[in-house]
């Protein structure tokens, strides 16, 4: 039972640290959003071409 409590504490510490790390990530810039959108369109066109050919 003691090990389970210890593991839960480690899990909680990891989760807390992860949440803090996520909060410190700056929001994406417009340029990054545009690049991701263009890449997504390119992937979609490539898949459509492959499926329809």
pLDDT tens per residue across span 8-49: 677 788 888 888 887 887 888 999 999 999 999 999 999 999
- Spatial distance between the Cα atoms of 53 and 49, rounded to a whole number of angstroms: 6
Structure tokens that stand for 12 in this block: 């909680």
Task: Note the pLDDT of residue 6.
Answer: 56
pLDDT classification of 1: cutoffs 50, 70, 90: very low
* Start-to-end CA span in the chain (Å): 60
**φ and ψ of 47, to 5 deg:** -65, -45
């Amino acid at each position: 039972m003691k090990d389970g409590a210890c593991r839960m504490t480690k899990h909680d510490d990891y989760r807390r640290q992860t949440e803090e790390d996520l909060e410190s990530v700056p929001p994406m810039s417009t340029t990054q959003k545009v690049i991701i959108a263009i890449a997504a369109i390119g992937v979609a066109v490539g898949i459509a071409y492959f499926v329809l050919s």
